[in-house]
Each structure stands twice: as structure tokens, then as C-alpha cells.
């Protein structure tokens, strides 16, 4: 019984986070941390550890923390419940919205708003890059020239050549290991 109550608690909490998490990724952290503490799943220090693991591993950050917290609270069942609860509001909202947008295809207001939002979204994408750069090019208050070199190199290849980004990501992992650990 206690197991099911935990699952229910996980579901409710992550559904709520999924519903009120706007702007993606790092924007959701304060809400997430608050909810975890309130529900007694995880304290601040522990959350910070989980957050850094979530950033290092593939997948959306919020999703990774959901899997982690779920595992900790109720094993693999908890992980599945938490992760799906987080995804569910998105799936519902987007499915409805996709239909509405299709109907508005030619609407002048929709087109004007999307014209502005296209520029804003591009700025937000670049800003996300800047935020990652701040945590990668500068380590412990020192400029890390090796990571800057990798960034510039990969930018050049990605922009000029039609190469699969997966190959660039894997090679950069190798370069990071060689350049930052071996050397």
C-alpha cells in the first residue's frame, strides 16, 4: 500500500511539474527543487548531485531527474511513473495545439506573431549555447582554452560540412578525454 501511495505522490508531483514547467530545462529547476523538498523526496544537496548527473547524461534534464527521483523513491516502477507523469501534460497540450494551429495556418495574426517569435526563438537557442559556454569555457574561474578550441573546430565542421552531428559529438567526447584527462 505504501508503495502505491508513493507512486501516486510521484505521479501527482511530476504531472504538476510537467504542467507548469515553461521554457524548458533549466527554467524548471526552482519549481522542481521546491516540490522535491516539500514532498520529502530529496534535499537540496542531493538534488544538486542529481542535477549534475542529469546534465551530463543524454536526454532532457527534467526527464533525467524524474527517472532518478523515481528510482530512488520506488525503484524502476517509480522511475517509469515519474517520467511518464512529466511527459503526459506535454503530450496532451501539444496534441490539442497542433490541431488548432493547423486551422489557423493562413490567419494574419498567427503569421505575424510567429514571425516575431521566430526571431525570439533563434535568440533563445543562441542564449542556451551561451549558457553552456559559460560553464564549459570557464572552469573554476580559469579560461579553459582546450574546450574553446573544440567548440570552434566543431562549429567550423558543422557549418561547412554536411556531417552527422552524432559523429561530431562522439569525436568531441574522445577529444575531451585526450585533451583534458590524458594531457
Partner 1 sequence: MLKELFISFFKIGLFTFGGGYAMLPLIEKELVEKRRWITQEELMEMFIVSQMTPGTIAINASTFIGSKKAGKLGGFVASLGIIFPSLIIITLIYNFLGESFDNPVIHSIFLGIRACIIGLIASSTLKICRKSFISGMSYIIFIIAFILLLIFDISPILLILLGALLGAVTTFFLPSRIKSILEVK
Q: Looking only at residues 74 through 113 of this chain, which bind partner 1 when binding is defined by CB under 8 A?
A: 76, 79-80, 83-84, 86-87, 89-91, 93-95, 97-98, 101, 108-109, 111-113
Q: Are 137 and 151 in contact (CB under 8 A)?
A: yes
CB of 120 to partner 1, least distance (A): 4
CB of 4 to partner 1, least distance (A): 20
Q: Which of 40, 58, 140, 143 binds partner 1 (CB under 8 A)?
A: 58
Query: Rounded to an integer, what distance in angstroms lies between the CA atom of residue 151 and that of residue 77?
Result: 39
Nearer to partner 1, 39 or 153 (CB): 153
Q: Which DSSP helix (H) or strand (E) runs through 178?
A: none
Q: Is 135 in the site for partner 1 (CB under 8 A)?
A: yes
CB of 175 to partner 1, least distance (A): 5
Q: Is 143 in the site for partner 1 (CB under 8 A)?
A: no
Angle at 60 between CA 158 and CA 43, to 5 degrees: 140
Stretch that binds partner 1, among 3-11, 33-41, 119-127 (CB under 8 A): 119-127
Query: Rounded to an integer, what distance in angstroms lies between the CA atom of residue 48 and that of residue 45?
Result: 5
Stretch that binds partner 1, among 3-11, 30-38, 62-70 (CB under 8 A): 62-70
Look up residue 134 and give its three cell numbers: 559559460
Q: Is 71 in the site for partner 1 (CB under 8 A)?
A: yes
Q: Are 83 and 63 in contact (CB under 8 A)?
A: yes
Query: Rounded to an integer, what distance in angstroms lies between the CA atom of residue 78 and that of residue 137?
Result: 37
Amino acid at each position: 500500500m505504501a508503495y502505491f501511495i508513493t507512486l501516486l505522490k510521484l505521479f501527482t508531483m511530476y504531472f504538476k511539474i510537467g504542467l507548469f514547467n515553461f521554457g524548458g530545462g533549466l527554467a524548471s529547476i526552482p519549481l522542481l527543487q521546491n516540490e522535491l523538498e516539500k514532498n520529502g523526496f530529496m534535499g537540496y544537496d542531493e538534488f544538486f548531485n542529481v542535477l549534475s548527473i542529469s546534465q551530463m547524461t543524454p536526454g532532457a534534464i527534467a526527464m533525467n531527474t524524474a527517472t532518478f527521483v523515481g528510482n530512488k523513491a520506488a525503484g524502476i516502477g517509480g522511475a517509469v511513473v515519474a517520467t511518464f507523469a512529466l511527459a503526459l501534460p506535454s503530450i496532451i497540450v501539444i496534441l490539442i495545439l497542433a490541431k488548432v494551429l493547423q486551422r489557423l495556418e493562413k490567419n494574419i495574426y498567427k503569421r505575424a506573431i510567429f514571425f516575431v517569435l521566430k526571431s525570439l526563438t533563434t535568440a533563445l537557442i543562441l542564449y542556451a549555447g551561451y549558457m553552456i559556454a559559460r560553464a564549459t569555457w570557464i572552469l573554476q574561474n580559469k579560461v579553459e582554452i582546450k574546450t574553446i578550441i573544440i567548440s570552434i573546430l566543431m562549429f567550423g565542421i558543422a557549418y561547412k560540412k554536411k556531417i552527422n552531428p552524432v559523429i561530431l559529438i562522439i569525436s568531441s567526447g574522445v577529444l575531451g578525454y585526450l585533451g583534458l584527462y590524458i594531457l
